[in-house]
Amino acid sequence: MVAIDCDETLVRSDNTVSAYTVDVLHRLQQKGIGITIATGRMYQTAKPIGLALQLGNVPMILFSGGLIQELETGYKLFEQTVPIDVVYRVFQLGQQYSWHIQSYVDDHLLCHHKNWQSDHYEQQTGAVAEFLGDTIYTLSSEPNKLIAIDTEEGIDRIIDILTPLVGNRVTLVRSQRDFLEITAPNVSKGRALAQLALDNNLSLENIVSFGNADNDISMLSETGYSVAVSNATEHVKSVANEVCGHHNEDGVAHWIEKNLL
């Protein structure tokens, strides 16, 4: 099996995948090698990528490991949500420090109000946000994930504040330099991939993983072989076994064609 991150790994900056990448992954499946998308995205925004890749009803690891869901049927194979008391605490801090915090409930992207962060996220992922105002602070449903969006320096400050206050109750990990994922305790792509491997009678040794960001490290460090794209962070590159080409130049597909086909 191969496990591939979406944003800045498999997907180009304009949120598309090339015909070449589609062809390579199709040939990979014909060889009997399974494919899973392992992303921080929600189902709403990961599904179009999976359909564009013509992968069939493959399992997708979503919310950086908080949910495993089948691409075509939408059937949930695994789910772990963020405890609601911690959600309220994060939102309280968000109000205090004027952070942009998004929530994801039942495949809905929920924001307080429209701003540059919500615009940035919608443009990058194709998501459609819903703006709830102060109602977002009182929702009783546990979300799959919260995400903070800010400048790189702003995310550094948010991490510094959240870590001592709620760091033992949630998982904090960057999916991009300006995105901070806030998920349930012990949630990670690596843990979800291990569960998926177990369910499919596979060994992690027989999986190749591809990624670019900190939320990919858990799977890159656990699979039999791991590949970072050239645009990955230096930390991610240091964890991976190898570095392939840039995500805007079909680096993952070129590596797969050269090494697995």
Asked if pLDDT for residue 175 goes beyond 90, the answer is no
pTM of the model: 0.89
Taking the CA atoms of the chain, what radius of gyration do you get in angstroms?
Answer: 18
What pLDDT digit, counting tens, does each position of 89-101 carry? 999 999 999 999 9
Cα(230)–Cα(113) distance, integer angstroms: 35
Structure confidence at residue 47 as a pLDDT band (50, 70, 90): very high
Convert 200-239 into a string of H (helix), E (strand) and C (coil). Answer: CCCCHHHCEEEECCHHHHHHHCCCCEEEECCCCCHHHHHH
% residues pLDDT > 90 (the chain): 96
Cα(146)–Cα(137) distance, integer angstroms: 12
Q: What's the confidence (pLDDT) of residue 176?
A: 86
Q: What's the confidence (pLDDT) of residue 18?
A: 95
Q: What's the confidence (pLDDT) of residue 106?
A: 94
% residues pLDDT > 70 (the chain): 100
Cα(132)–Cα(207) distance, integer angstroms: 41
Structure confidence at residue 6 as a pLDDT band (50, 70, 90): very high
Mean pLDDT of the residues in the chain: 95
Name residues whose C-beta falls within 8 Å of residue 13's C-beta, 6 or more positions apart in sequence.
247, 248
* Length of the chain (residues): 261
CA nearest neighbour of 105 among 167, 159, 63, 149 = 63
The average pLDDT across 14-27 equals: 95
**How far does Cα 177 stand from its chain's mean position?**
13
What pLDDT digit, counting tens, does each position of 206-223 carry? 999 999 999 999 999 999
What pLDDT digit, counting tens, does each position of 183-209 carry? 999 999 999 999 999 999 999 999 999
The average pLDDT across 20-48 equals: 95
Q: If you ran DSSP here, which 8-state letter would residue 151 be given?
A: -
Asked if pLDDT for residue 36 goes beyond 90, the answer is yes
Q: If you ran DSSP here, which 8-state letter would residue 114 be given?
A: -
**Domains parsed from the chain with CATH numbers:** 2-79+187-259 (3.40.50.1000), 84-183 (3.30.1240.10)
What pLDDT digit, counting tens, does each position of 101-159 carry? 999 999 999 999 999 999 999 998 889 999 999 999 999 999 999 999 999 999 999 99
